[in-house]
Structure 1
Amino acid sequence: MIATDLDGTLLRSDKTVSARTVAALAAAEAAGIEVIFVTGRPPRWMGVVSDHLHGHGLAICANGAVLADLRGRPRARLVRVRPLERADALATVHALRAAAPGVSFAVERTEGIHYEPSYPVFFEDPGASYAPAEKLLADSHSDSYDQPVVKLLAHHPDRDPDAFLALGRKAAGAHGEFTRSSPSALLEISGRGVSKASTLAHACAERGITADQVVAFGDMPNDLEMLGWSGTSYAMANAHPQVLAATTHRTASNEDDGVASVIEALLTG
């Protein structure tokens, strides 16, 4: 199996997939190698690769919280959801407000995202609501209340991104899994035990694929567990220093089709 991150890895900076990469993915599946996308993106933001599906079309989304079948029409079908419990999300909000004044939150649910008014909105989503995180998580009268929480996002306007991650883990690490994939101070919090690696391991076990049969690609801290679990792992040339330090293999940057170059070599070697 080939397990690849998207942003900063498979996708170029303009969020496109190059013709070379499309051809390499198709060739891999034609040779009997499964391809699975493993990303922090929610399923509804997977249109960037939905036109390049071959074989099963599975994707691990929201840093492992959702396993989705992208072949669903008109939208991806959610195969498995591993939620962040509301009590843990609320405890995290309270702990981070005390540890990092100025923090703001967004709540990612299976059907959409909801923001605090002060949170910097990177993508406009139809149906998003705006309220304090405590209300977003606890308002049983909300139309979205019955939708599982798949990720809590915490943004700080001034903190160093890596230092903010360390602070978040220290302040509230008992309530969830903390990681980051943005160049800004933006934490991504999933349910306890939820990561790209743990969901990938489960998906592989269901298919009779062992860790040593997986080749993984990534560039940011949210890829570290997946890269460590996989038998062969590649850091992109543009990867975060922690990712470069944790992997033994390197490939070209996302702009230079680093994933495609490795796949081509695997198929011809």
Structure 2
Amino acid sequence: MPPTQDLIPSPKPALALAPPARKRSFEHVGTNDLWAIVQAGRWFRGLPPELAAHMQHMAQPRLLSPGEWLFRRGDAPCGIYAVARGSLSISGTAALQENTRTALLTLIEAPSWLGEIALFDGAPRTHDACANTACALLQIPIAPLREWLDATPQHWQPMALLLTHKLRASLIALEEQTVLPAAQRIMCRLVQMAMGNEQWADRSRTHRELAVSQEQLARMLGLSRQTTNQILQELQLAGWLQLRRGKLEVLDLPALKAAAQTGRTSANDRTGC
């Protein structure tokens, strides 16, 4: 996803690290249960059987506590990952004189994949990936996967499609962030998240509860917290959304989707910001 327009000060390092004694929520979940979720994804469902079977054979479960890093910018690539439970935040940091600032790019949920850029170029990680909630992932090591793909080059194309899907989504998001007013940008992003960013093979599958706070939504879209809250309050007043502590609940996705196309923020045909 494209960078936000505004750089937001980073949280203190102490808040970014999970407490050592905190238990992970998915320790009881088996690998087969994780694969059942990943296999319901649109990209994985379309893989050639030989490639899908090889990836499943190589994969190992990876559990993260809230606030635990999956990788940091500059780290050497060690795998590609499928998110099966929970969500990850993808962000970038920059040192500006004496201040360190961060831009929240996106939140990644099941059944999305990440880390595939390094599969092609072998370069260090470009951004930070941190557990937004407790997470259960499947990790496939890059070195043996690349070796197998080189030996069976016909399977590189599906891996390239994983990359192009994200590039297409990034270009659309960049256009929206450049030309759409704030209210319409918020509604478009909420619709995308509710529809699982179109990652499910079953296109009718949607999320009612979105694990995103108002602050996170504002940071992803380069908006102020005040502007974001005002627009969300209007959407709640229209009956399309319910604001909850640390998350948002979509009450009427068809109405929200229609409003995202027109920019309306209420049922009374008011124009968005």
TM-score by length of structure 2 reads 0.25
